[in-house]
Structure 1
Amino acid sequence: MEIKQENLESVYGRVKLSDFCGIGQAIEKRLNKIGVYTPLQLRGASLNELISEFKDVEGHFLKNLGLGIDESEVVPYYLPDEVKSVGRNYCLPHNEHDQRKILQNVFELCEEVGIKLRRLNKKAKTIGFYLSGEETFHGRKTITEYVDRGSEIFNLCKELYDEWKPSMVRQISVWAGNLEDSNNLTLPLFSDYSRQEKIQKIRDVINDRFGDHTIGNAFLLRGPNLKTVPNGYMADKYEREKLVKEFHKAHTI
C-alpha cells in the first residue's frame, strides 16, 4: 500500500502505536501517560508536550511520525541496507563469578561476531566490549588492521578485559564497527596471515555445512552453552539458538 497525505488518516486509524518502528512498549507507556493512545492522537499531540516528556530530538521524531514525515533517505527495496556495525549481546542465566567461564562466553560471542562479519563479507577496525554485573565495564579499541576472525576479536576484547577488576558478570556484549568491504582491502603480505585466512575459510565451509561451531577453538571445550536470541541494537537477522550445542555434540561422538 502506498501511503499519501490523502489516505494518511485512514491508515493511522487502522494501526496501533506499537506498529510504528521506533515505538516500543516503553515509549508507548510514556505516550499513554500524556494521553496519547493511538496514532491519530499522536498526530494531534502538542509538540511542546512531546518535548517535555521525551526531550527535543525524540519529541520531534515522534511529532514527525504522527504527521507522517520521514526525512531519512529512501533505500530501494532491491538494495541491501548498509551495515554499520555487528554485535552480539548475551545475558547469562545466572550471576557468574568464574572468570574462565566468563571468558569462554566472551570468546563464543566473538566467534559469532566473526561469523556474521564473514557472511557479510566485511572486516572491522573497531571492537567494542561491555560487561555488566557487580561492576559495569565498557571499552573499545580501534586498530590499524581490519579483522573478521573470532580469535582476533577475542584478543582485542581480552586486552580490554585485562583492564577490568574481575568480579561477578551477568551480561556481556561484543560489537564490531568501522566496517569495510573485504574486497576493498589489501591483504597483508605475511605468510602466517595468509595461512590463517585459508584455515578460516576451510572452517567456514565445514561449519556452514554441518552447523556453526562444528569446528571450534579448544578453549571452548567444557564451556557453558549459550542460549541467546537477538535483541535490541545488538540484534541481526541470524538466529542464535544453535551456538555451542552443535559444537559440544561434535566433540562427544
Structure 2
Amino acid sequence: MEPHNQTAVSQFLLLGLSDDPALQSVIFTLFLSMYLVTILGNLIIIMMVSSDPHLHTPMYFFLCNLSFNDICLHTCTIPRMLVNLQTQDQRITYAGCLCQVAFVIVFAFVENFLLAVMAYDRYVAICHPLVYTVIMSPHLCVLLFLSCFLISITVALFHTLMVLCLSFCTNLEIPNFFCELAQVIKLSCSDTIIDNTMVYVSTSIFGGVPFSGIIFSYIHIVSSVLRMPSSKGKHKAFSTCGSHLSVVSLF
C-alpha cells in the first residue's frame, strides 16, 4: 500500500457506533435526547449561579465553568455525529477532523483540571475554614481557571501539530463517531512511535497529576472530617463533597 502525504488527505470516514441501518434511528434519538438534556441541565446550573448572589463563591464559580466546559465538550462531538446519522454521510474533512481532535483534547483536559481544582477548593474549605476566603480569593480562582485552559490548549496544540506531520495511507476509516487522537494516529503510514509515546506521557502527566491531587485532597478531607466531634458537622462536610465525588467517578 503506497502511503500518501498528509496534504493529499481531504477527508476521513467516521464509522460511528453501528453500521446496522435498523439501529441508526435509535442511536440518533438516544444521543439527541442525551445531548439536549446535557445542554439544558448545564445551562440551568449556569443561569442559577449567575442570577443568585449567594452562589457567587469559589465552589460555584468552578461548578459554573465546569458546566460550560461540559457543554463545549459535548458540542464538539455529538452534533457532528447527529448530522452524519441524519444525512447518512460519514465523511469529515481533514481540517474538520484535526479541529475536532484539538477541541476534544482541550475540553477533556480542562474538565480533568477543573475537577482537581474543585477538590482543592473543598480541601481548603473543610481543612482550613478560617482562612478559606483568604486562600480562595477571586484572583486565585480566575488564575486557576485560566491556567487550566492555557495548559490544555498547549497540550492540544502540541498533539495537533504532531498529527500534521504524519502521512496517511488509503485506509482513512475511523472506528468511532468522532475524531479521536489515538485512532487518527493509527491510520498513519508514518513512524508513530514518538506520537504514541507523547500521548502516553501527556496523559500520564496531565491526567495522573490532577487525579493524584484529587486523591491527596480527599485523604486530608476524610482525615479532618473524622476528627470532627459533631456528627452534624461530619454530615455537612461529606454532603458538600458528595456531588463532586460523583462527578469525578463518572468522568
What range is the shorter-chain TM-score in?
Answer: under 0.3
**TM-score, structure 1 as length reference:** 0.24
The higher-RCO structure (CA 8 Å, 6+ apart) is: 2
Give the structure with higher Rg (CA).
1
Return the structure number with greater strand share.
1
**TM-score, structure 2 as length reference:** 0.24
